[in-house]
Amino acid sequence: MKKIAFIGAGSFGFTRSLVRDILSFPALADSTIALMDIDPERLSYIKEAVDKIVAAGKYPAKVIATTNRAEALEGADGVVCTILAGGVKIWRNDIEIPKKYGVDINVGDTRGPAGIFRFLRTVPEMLAICKDIEKYCPDAIFLNYTNPMAMLCRAMQSESKVKVTGLCHSVQGTAEMLARWIGAPMDEITYLCAGINHQAFYLEYKWNGKDAYPLIREAIKRPEIYNEEQVRNEMFLHLDYYVTESSGHNSEYNAWFRKRPDLIEKYCTHGTGWNPGHYAYILNEYLKREDTWKDEIKAWLADDNVDLERGHEYAAYIFNATIGDGTMYEFNGNVRNFGLIDNLPEGCCVEVPVLASKRGLSPMHVGPLPDHLAVLVNTSARCEELAVEGALTGDPRKIFHAICFDPLTSSVLSLAEIKSMVDEMFEANKEWLPQFKL
């Protein structure tokens, strides 16, 4: 019987879907699912939800719930992390302070000034989780879903011996989107994808072994498809390779789409998924969830129907390969760049193909990115390296310098303006930043 611990189990959507997927593998069906969250009320609801999944599938699994992280981790074979350090009230500062200075950020959970400060708040807790894993389950496979993915994984992988990688659904999600656009069955699609989290590119995308990029280029001539992902489609038209993460996110990661109101109106406001140009919309959605989450989970619990069909998130397949029946599985994971992508910084966090097996997690050498993509991705990766170094040493100057070279920020603000903005963000976050002597 294997034990899989969920840290931050009160993330209802992730926990429900991942537990469903894990138990669908016969070799993992009798696992002990250890649910841990610091919020007893959310923990109680997710325990009831997971019990419902176990009953519906008639699985011989055992479910425990605890607010004690050590208890959840003790003897675990696998660990999943979906924590959030601070709620919407602190997160909104990440967006609203830069916006006051003219830096119009959308979600702000990955990089740039908002992503960096989210990282600074989160990294102490993530390193504490790693220390607990080293103590209570040192051989466990640790799968992280918490953002900002690249910076957190980079910090954990350099400061601990834990076998950790970071997972994002954007790679397989975008691959499926592109297949839909060209009318291809997903089981006939193959691809090679590499870069950094949210800025990985499909270096190859093939249908039955033939290059499918010409078909994608034809597909986005149709207005309904172009408008589905305006920013990403513009990037593809001009950069020749398709990027993994949504238009809303990618509009934040470069200097091309959000530096002027007219560009935001043209590319980031209409027809790009979930209104990614409107931070106010996203904020209201998060605030609304704080008020409605109980109703949503109660409605799910009251529904007699339970979907037990396995989904496409990587975690369950990885656990099955490493601690289950050993069926090897290739996925895109976040790992340090030691000989993987030739023209990105040595040791930075990259997102590359990884093979999961009984041997563990084996990242694959990709080679160089196309030169023009390397320019874009290098900028983000080097800013992330500076931010990680600043976080680990408690040096606010390195954080300032990391934000100085953020593409969107530097396209809008002067150095003096960036310094004022960063100082204000440090002040707003000071209770969450014990590693800095401010």
> Tokens 């290059």, residue?
211
- Distance (Å, whole) CA 296 – CA 261: 36
Q: Catalytic annotation on 169?
A: yes
**Catalytic-role residue among 169, 249, 278, 365:** 169
* Residue 89: Cβ-neighbour burial (10 angstroms; 0-12, 13-18, 19+): exposed
Angle, CA of 337, 343 and 345, to the nearest 5° = 45
Query: Does the annotation list 197 as a binding residue?
Result: no
Query: Does the annotation list 198 as a binding residue?
Result: yes
> Tokens 């060209």, residue?
182
Binding residues, by number, are 147, 168, 198
**What residues are labeled active site?**
169
Binding residues for substrate: 147
Residues annotated as binding site for Mn(2+)?
Answer: 168, 198
